[in-house]
Structure 1
């Protein structure tokens, strides 16, 4: 005869059975974006992003991403996307801005679903759900990276991209941002001439890391901007708000942060607006 169970445990299980599945009531047609937490989706009423025209010094990247996402929204063949490169140069902002721009003519055809990197293992559940929805989806994983000893999740991602048993749904395309094209963590021995590791093994390790990046049909690089490009970005953010600025001061702001980028330009404009008593 089995031992009596804890009444509190039985009550908790009963409440769990009675409570509705938070993901069951999601309207996959009524919103421009969603956030997937690994168990269920949360609806997002609006996509926050700069106007596409405000994003400067990345014209080629804009063209490539916009063309690909517009194809997806039309139901045409489209690539999975890897946006990699310099910090603060607008990788995630560009993706959100392009989706919002494409939705102006076809919101019912396309939606953005952001997935936290920690929820990566749950992607097959999300794919299964979205495969039943007559809409196209950009599955957005921002700032993806893997620990040096993580060999499972990179292989899972490669399988989803290459059409394995749990491949992504036909109406979904992955869009991943990363500061490194290889995505995988760089091992110290790859750079250590005294590690005792052979050159062949080092090359194999690098090739294995890049193999994941090669699974993306569209890999778009973002690079640090020049002095003139940085000032152009500042103008693009400041001018619509009537904010005048001193170029030397803007450059000094960037120097103090150790880089020239779109993010630093925006932070400088926030400082300008605050000093002028304006909101953005």
Structure 2
């Protein structure tokens, strides 16, 4: 009987500690990154991101993002960011790398990744971050909405600009999406007999809320090889140009992600760990 009571006490103690780390007070200034879920905040002790120099073929986008993140880290005016376009071209990696670089330069900034299933809880997150003496980049990766969900996009538009619950001055959003409009679009949008622009404008209204919108496009052959060359040099790997091109051809795409998979294969053959 006593053993059972002790077991129940240990379980209760563990549950109390768990609840305090997810729903209780969070040290928003103590770590480089956090993950926000419907249960609360979870700490991330190190941002997993490549060095900025290894992100190649996206120089203009890299300059724009790093400049904007640096401004936010210094407490200056900064834009919400929408990074859209081709898969595997470094949209998410660039966000993480830019924040890590700003932290390395002494900037006061933390990355808070929000799962797409927790977007509706953003007001609670804003309420916590608005009272903290630091700066935060809210990161929502690969955002998309179902065709039947017209409520969440409207709330997100309001939080970005124009609503009474807009994000605090020390918080900005960075969103990645394969679509420039984020929302799915159809040719039938043009078929409205009353005003064919209404449906189109409504879908584009969310994308228009971002002060910085950057497109990412499929890599050219030269860009792809330059990415491979950069990774190979960084990790001391030899590669064959034709094999690198064949790797991309078999996968039907040339991108930074495909180049990284090729480098992973080379490292595995060489018995190295990346």
Who is 1:10 aligned against? none
Normalised by the size of structure 1, how large is the TM-score? 0.88
List aligned pairs for 1:155-166, cutoff 5 A. 155-166=154-165
Q: CA deviation at 1:206?
A: 2.4
Alignment RMSD: 1.8
Matches of 1:49 and 1:142, distance apart in 2: 14
The runs of 5 or more residues in structure 1 that have no matched partner are 1-14, 192-196
- Are 2:64 and 1:41 aligned? no
Aligned to 2:23: 23
SS of 1:168 mapped into structure 2 = coil
Q: What does residue range 1-280 of structure 1 map to in structure 2 within 5 Å?
A: 19=16, 20-21=19-20, 22-107=22-107, 109-187=108-186, 189-190=188-189, 197-198=191-192, 203-280=197-274
Contact persistence 1:182–1:210 (CA under 8 A): yes
Instruction: Tell me: CA distance 1:91–1:199, structure 2 relative to 1, closer, same or farther (3 Å).
Output: farther
Counterparts of 1:200 and 1:206, CA distance in 2: 13
CA distance in 2, matches of 1:200, 1:232: 51
The Cα of 1:190 is off from its aligned counterpart by 4.6
TM-score scaled to structure 2, two decimals?
0.90
State the Cα distance separating 1:165 from its structure 2 match.
1.7
Deviation (angstroms), 1:278:
1.4
SS at match of 1:114: strand
- Can you give the 5+ residue segments of structure 2 that lack an aligned partner in the other structure? 1-11
- 1:91 Cα deviation after fit: 0.1
2:137 partner SS: strand
Number of aligned residue pairs = 259
In structure 1, C-alpha distance between the alignment counterparts of 2:70 and 2:236, rounded to whole Å: 33
Change (3 A) 1:279 1:200: farther
The alpha-carbon deviation at position 41 of structure 1 amounts to 0.4
- The CA distance in 1 between the partners of 2:244 and 2:97, in whole Å, is 25
SS at match of 1:111: strand
* CA displacement at 1:257 relative to structure 2: 0.9
Over residues 137-177 of structure 1, what are the superposed CA-to-partner deviations in whole Å (9 max), with x where a residue is unaligned?
A: 00000000111111101100000011412111111000000
